Amino acid sequence: MFRIGQPVRGFLALAIMVVVGLAIYFVARLDIWYPGLPAGSGVAMLALPLLFVFVWLFLFMLYFANWPFQKVSQPWQGILVSLLVLVLGCITYYIFHHMLHWTAHIFTIGVLWLIWAFGLGGFAGNPIPTAYGGKQPISGIIGAITTLGLTLVTWWIIPDQFLGAFFAGASPYVAGGLTGFPFVWFLIAVMFMMVWPLWPFPAAPQGTQLWVRLGFLGFFSFVLLWILKAIGLDWFTNPMAPLFILTVLHPLLWWALLFQFWPVHGIREAPRGFIVFIVGSLAGILVFYFVMPLLAWDHFALQFCFFISLFLYFAMGQGMLMPPPAGTKMPGE
């Protein structure tokens, strides 16, 4: 795919992402993975093990530097790391669900773990790998333990009303009923990381970037909550609100990661990001109201599977190595 230009490469990548996402969805929803639950209820649990897959995906990208496969050529490096994070995600889920019996808290803990992985990763200048000189696996192990430890402390001291509570009448196995403020923050963080990597201060030192970015993420997270409530999708009472945001977020990420911002790749980062945000959001809204109702599958779980397959392609496979289209304005230019 290296020799294929945009937009053909983007459409091929999108086809791969959809196929992989559907494969994850139909395999992971099988009842054999959820012993002790009523038949057919496994799909409601699907986002929980996949969330830990997502956690390990970013831990390997930010702290392990794809160890122990960093010297393996692509695409085998991506395939091997993808399989490893799938296994580690399932093992982590087994520990929290079957051994600790913390099923009701898995979604909150997973999202907080992602927040700390981001916070001590790119937002802070990757201090842990820097301190160990990138030596593996110690950098990755310390990073995983540190971020998990901070996650558990955060989960312990912050009220459940803020982290996320069950929707009235929702099944305790429905992950969508646990999406509190950290999940909003995480979705906003992903959008900014991919659409506006350095804006609003591209030339600022890394420490300044961290605090400015945290402030922007916090501010726009609450703006999003207010907007959702104004249109009748209160985040803490309406189970459709998380699905709405995931649906709107997908076109933005597809445009940024799969199509590499084509055909607006030649525009500077800030205005390009606003174009992607406006057009992508409108596309996501149309999908949410006119396409999703036609699908009989579990919408939240399906969106999460596409989320996983997108970042498996980008971070662990060929996606991050693809040369951008000629004339692309890089972040900060």
**Is 23 domain-assigned?**
yes
- Residue 166 pLDDT more than 50? no
CB 203 within 8 A of CB 272: no
Round the average pLDDT of the chain to a whole number and report it: 79
What's the whole-number mean pLDDT along residues 121-132?
77
Identify which of 81-90, 209-218, 288-297 has the greatest average pLDDT.
81-90
Q: Residue 326 domain-assigned? A: no
pLDDT tens digits along 254-291 = 998 888 899 998 898 889 999 999 999 999 999 999 98
pLDDT digits (tens, 9 = 90+) for 75-118: 677 778 888 988 999 899 989 988 998 877 887 888 889 888 88
pLDDT classification of 148: cutoffs 50, 70, 90: very high
- Determine the average pLDDT of the residues in 199-221: 74
pLDDT band at 252 (very low <50, low <70, confident <90, very high): very high
Please give the Cα distance from 51 to 45 (Å, whole number).
Answer: 10
Domain tally, the chain: 1
230 part of a folded domain: yes
What CA–CA distance (Å, rounded) separates 23 from 96? Answer: 24
Q: Look-up: residue for tokens 């076109």?
A: 251
* 3 domain residue, yes or no: no
CA–CA dist 56, 62 (Å, integer)? 10
pLDDT, position 251: 93
Pick the range with the lowest mean pLDDT from 9-13, 267-271, 278-282, 319-323.
Answer: 319-323
Whether cis (ω within 30° of 0) applies to the bond prior to 75 is yes
Quick one: pLDDT band at residue 206, thresholds 50, 70, 90? low
Range of the domain at 41: 8-321
Tokens of 154: 């955060």
The per-residue pLDDT for 126 is 76
For the residues 176-192, what does the mean pLDDT come to? 70
Long-range contacts, 273-282 (Cβ 8 Å, 24+): 273/195, 273/196, 273/199, 276/195, 276/252, 277/191, 277/195, 277/252, 279/251, 279/255, 280/248, 280/251, 280/252, 280/254, 280/255, 281/248, 281/251, 281/252
Token code pair at residue 92:
């982590």
| CA distance linking residue 162 with residue 178, whole number of Å | 10
Distance CA 54, CA 64 (A): 14
Q: Considering the domain boundaries, does residue 330 fall inside one?
A: no
CA separation for the pair 113, 176 (Å, rounded)? 17
Q: pLDDT grade, residue 174 (50/70/90)?
A: very low
Longest Cα–Cα distance in the chain: 55
Tell me whether residue 71 is in a domain.
yes
pLDDT of residue 95: 93
Please check whether residue 184 lies inside any domain of the structure.
Answer: yes
- How far apart are the C-alpha atoms of 291 and 306, rounded to whole Å? 15
Per the CB < 8 A criterion, the answer to whether 194 and 245 are in contact is no
C-alpha dist (Å) from residue 2 to 81, 186, 298: 20, 31, 35
Q: How far apart, in whole angstroms, are the C-alpha atoms of residue 102 and residue 109? A: 10
Q: Report whether pLDDT(132) > 60.
A: yes
Whole-angstrom Cα distance, residue 320 to residue 311? 10
- Any domain includes 328: no
* Residue 194 CB contacts under 8 Å (≥ 6 apart), including other chains: 252, 253, 256, 257
